[in-house]
Structure 1
């Protein structure tokens, strides 16, 4: 499709992203549907990831998202960027088939330092699969003990790297929750049905799904997000561009779904929307260039010192305008906004909107 050469402000671009991500209007119909629609949701911080799903599913409670993980209708693993994500179970194996080799290659230097060779991984695979045989689940500590008993040290992060390699090879997968941790299970026992597109078809599908769930976004955004080389991403675009619309913004092409682009016809909603998003949320993190929604002068307030730890974000009208935090514990805990601009705090309407967002978060935690 031809590019829409229309003048669109950054705030409108941000609201289009809110719409794509199910953060405006009716959201998604359920927990698995939200995860599937987003293609994958960052889940390094489990508690943040639970709310990242909940905020996209009206009426969902914490127990609903936890149940999806316990039942395996949503899974959590390391499909890209060496970072944990939530995704649909049928998608994990084929995405790993695309991304694993590059991630393992990127970790090769560290694995040499830890003296991890192919034979070591095979020893750990045998020990781990023996421990989880018959549908049993094992904690990380139990797996580490099995590795040690098989002669494989686990100190200095060696154990977690061995465990990561077993998940990358689809031998193990994080399964049911045990408090705020996950136990590990045999991949083939937990995920009994996997799709198997070829590499080129798979990259094209993942590109399409990312742009539908994150657009407007660039090909570079997707290449960073997916850990897939930009040359392969560009090669995949012709297969799916007929199902997308290209929007030109400040001289750069951004891709999005036709249904999201159609919102431009009548005015993109959400001008007065106020959201309390978790840390590491895809709305902020899911792009290599975040300047459309996060003013560069405030980026350090979301990721202090560039340390990779994303704070909880307040989003008003499609733009990140502050952070928020819980103060206290239990039922008496308060949700406190911290606007970026101390000299120009939120007005009455924004504060009222934030209170509603905080109340929704409280209902999510309680149900």
Structure 2
């Protein structure tokens, strides 16, 4: 089983199927969006043709949203998926955040959360988008202490309660808006329906993968993850390999024309972060060069499906300057293909 080749196809890194950012994010289920500028490239590079303006338009119009779901971190999700995804993960994220807060003396009483939620509904009503700093000023004027740590707690809870989501950016600054005004009402799903949708999204875009990969990516308890896989069992093909059961979704492409192209993957990219075990594309000894033990993921170079190095950019007034480093001195990378990868990134940015 050629794991890298199948993942390249279904993560839309080779021969992509989609034109629109919304289609791609919906296919992927969710895309980690801790680094906001980089996740725009993560979307754009997986489309048939895209510019940063097209991705920003989808964000501005609320077709895709940035919020905390699944694991307690930022993700991009399609607008129509946000409510059922929140419902699946909200209580788990609230519990994790509350546990963290207790350890740092950042507890906020429920009645104060309720007061904060009422204020958010008041100041954002009318399809307004406000930055975290602007919201903090309203909180302070209303007598609610709102330093940076407490505002993070207030906003995180309001996200999980389905009160706010990402709004229209103000320049380079992210904003918040009311979810009810940003996303039309959608039919409610049962828990099993939601679990099935999450599993379907994951395995069609991340196959081949094992149970522990899905548990890691989704943040679900093992019992719920197993139930999710059971619910879509008729859509999955299983294969025993390396003493594990691997799942491949029926919607996956397992054959296709692959090239020796080089890909400049952004930090926190799903190709690496979407799996618990990354050794199929990255040797264990090179883990520290791609990510840290405390969860920082770096931009990486992908060649023939394998992570072979790092890259970073320094924007200039004219053009784009990229720096590269390979994990192994003998790494064989064609300079013309490296230049082609750089050009694709530059075209996305319009440079």
Partners of 1:186 and 1:327 in 2: how far apart?
A: 35
Partners of 1:38 and 1:325 in 2: how far apart?
A: 25
RMSD (CA atoms)? 1.6
In the other structure, the counterpart of 1:279 is 267
Q: CA deviation at 1:174?
A: 1.0
Asked if the contact 1:90–1:195 (Cα under 8 Å) also holds between the matched residues in 2, the reply is no
Matching residue within 305, 328, 347 for 1:363: 347
Higher RCO by CA contacts (8 Å cutoff, separation 6 or greater): 1
Q: TM-score if structure 1 supplies the norm length? A: 0.91
Which aligned pairs between 1:216-231 and structure 2 lie closer than 5 A?
216-231=208-223
Query: Aligned with 1:114: secondary structure?
Result: coil
In the other structure, the counterpart of 2:332 is 346
In the other structure, the counterpart of 1:333 is 320
Structure 2 CA distance for partners of 1:273 and 1:332, relative to 1, 3 Å = closer
Partners of 1:110 and 1:258 in 2: how far apart?
A: 40
- For structure 2, the residue ranges without an aligned partner over 5 or more in a row are none
Asked if the contact 1:54–1:61 (Cα under 8 Å) also holds between the matched residues in 2, the reply is yes
Query: Aligned with 1:159: secondary structure?
Result: helix
- For structure 1, the residue ranges without an aligned partner over 5 or more in a row are 1-7
Cα deviation code 1:143-188 (max 9, x no counterpart): 1112222322222511111111111111111111112222211110
Asked if the contact 2:4–2:281 (Cα under 8 Å) also holds between the matched residues in 1, the reply is yes
Partners of 2:317 and 2:327 in 1: how far apart?
A: 27
In the other structure, the counterpart of 1:301 is 289
In the other structure, the counterpart of 1:58 is 48
Structure 2 CA distance for partners of 1:43 and 1:357, relative to 1, 3 Å = same
In the other structure, the counterpart of 1:3 is none
Q: TM-score if structure 2 supplies the norm length? A: 0.95
Partners of 1:331 and 1:193 in 2: how far apart?
A: 45
Matched, 1:288 2:276: yes
In the other structure, the counterpart of 1:92 is 82
Matching residue within 225, 230, 240 for 1:248: 240
In the other structure, the counterpart of 2:310 is 323
Partners of 1:154 and 1:219 in 2: how far apart?
A: 41
Structure 2 CA distance for partners of 1:110 and 1:307, relative to 1, 3 Å = closer
Which aligned pairs between 1:1-367 and structure 2 lie closer than 5 A?
8=1, 12-112=2-102, 113-155=105-147, 157-260=149-252, 262-263=254-255, 269-270=257-258, 272-304=260-292, 306-341=293-328, 343-347=329-333, 349=334, 351-366=335-350
Structure 2 CA distance for partners of 1:102 and 1:88, relative to 1, 3 Å = same
- Tell which deviates more after alignment, 85-94 or 178-187: 178-187
Moved over 4 A (4+): none
Asked if the contact 1:154–1:160 (Cα under 8 Å) also holds between the matched residues in 2, the reply is no
In the other structure, the counterpart of 1:4 is none
Partners of 1:156 and 1:60 in 2: how far apart?
A: 35
Partners of 2:187 and 2:65 in 1: how far apart?
A: 15
Partners of 2:220 and 2:58 in 1: how far apart?
A: 28
Structure 2 CA distance for partners of 1:24 and 1:13, relative to 1, 3 Å = same
Asked if the contact 1:124–1:150 (Cα under 8 Å) also holds between the matched residues in 2, the reply is no
Partners of 1:191 and 1:144 in 2: how far apart?
A: 24
